[in-house]
Amino acid sequence: MTDVSLKGRGTIDGNGAIWWQRFRDSGKTLSRPRLIYITRSTNLLIDGLTLINSPSFHLVPSQCRYVTIQNLTITAPLDSPNTDGIDPANCTHVLIQNCTIDNGDDNIAIKGGRSNGQIIQPSQDIQIRNCQFLHGHGLSIGSETSSGVTGVSVTNCTFTGTTNGIRIKSQSGLGGPIQGLSYKQITMTDVPNPLIIDLAYSLNSNNGYPNDIPSVSGLTIDQLTVTGAKNAGSLVGLTNSLLQNLTLSNLHINARTGLVLQNARNVAMNAYHIEVSSGPSVIAQNAIGTGF
């Protein structure tokens, strides 16, 4: 498909409550539909809609090119299972702007997994700006990253009461290169876990492809303000896949406990202030060539 537009001030209601209950009753095995799922489209515009109560993910563009998603309001209850807001999967040249997302799982999740077992185009050139995240699990990359995620830029976004903030999650078996990430002018209020890199997201050894190892390289966070956090962050690589080339600058974080940095190489921290209730502000383990 080419030149597809979904525009207007209307509301699309997924009537998800019955699906959520059936999902719980099934022991969390029931397959549920997405509210909007668009695949292999070029020049896709989604503008102005209100999306509510999806049975699962609200909006999924998959293997699309030149995508603009703007001025959306996405809402589902805090306890609604897997009601992600916007999940671009293996898409290129994506702009997400001026959206408000308040839901029960990832507010945004950028995925770059396999398709029918095959490595395909990575997710790349993703811009997210001027968005507001309320309840939800944060702005995520992963967990599927086997085909890669590269060139993500996030600017001028606010997080209020989300469970997590900036989040990268993957695991051996589902992982690939995650690189060229930039986060700038970010404000978080009452977000328990503002910074997370977790490359051992699930310990299910039977899941995925043994050679698909996640890696993170080239991440910049600049002008981040955090108040009311449980911890300052947890940036943890693998012993066989160190986090590499991270630059954290102009951080102002208020939290109960400090920033954990583990299994990393070449981490620079500049002009930062991390105020904690107890313990050190930065806890580094197997952090090679770091400066802070």
With beta carbons less than 8 A apart as the criterion, state whether 41 and 61 touch.
Answer: yes
The answer to whether 222 is a known catalytic residue is: no
State the DSSP code for 19: H
Residues facing residue 48 across a β-bridge = none
Dihedral angle, C-alpha 160, 235, 250, 98, nearest 10 °: -40
Instruction: Compute the distance between CA of residue 217 and CA of residue 224 in angstroms, rounded to an integer.
Output: 20
Of 84, 87, 102, 137, which is the active-site residue?
Answer: 137
Catalytic residue among 84, 87, 102, 105: 105
Q: Is 137 a catalytic residue?
A: yes
Q: Minimal CA–CA distance to 98: which of 46, 169, 163?
A: 46
Please confirm whether the linkage preceding 143 is cis (ω < 30° from 0). Answer: yes
Burial grade of 147 (CB within 10 A; 0-12, 13-18, 19 or more): buried
Let me know: does 265 contact 247? Beta carbons within 8 Å.
no
Query: How far is the C-alpha of 114 from the C-alpha of 106, rounded, in Å?
Result: 20
**181 CB-near residues (< 8 Å, 6+ apart):** 141, 152, 153, 168, 216, 218, 219, 220
Q: How many CA atoms lie within 13 A of 289 on its CB side?
A: 9
What φ, ψ does residue 7 adopt, rounded to 5°?
-135, 155
- Could you tell me which of 290, 182, 183 has the C-alpha nearest to residue 237? 290
C-alpha closest to that of 193 among 168, 174, 176, 215: 168
Q: Name the CA dihedral angle for 72, 76, 80, 85, rounded to a multiple of 10 degrees.
A: 0
Any idea which residues carry the catalytic annotation?
105, 137
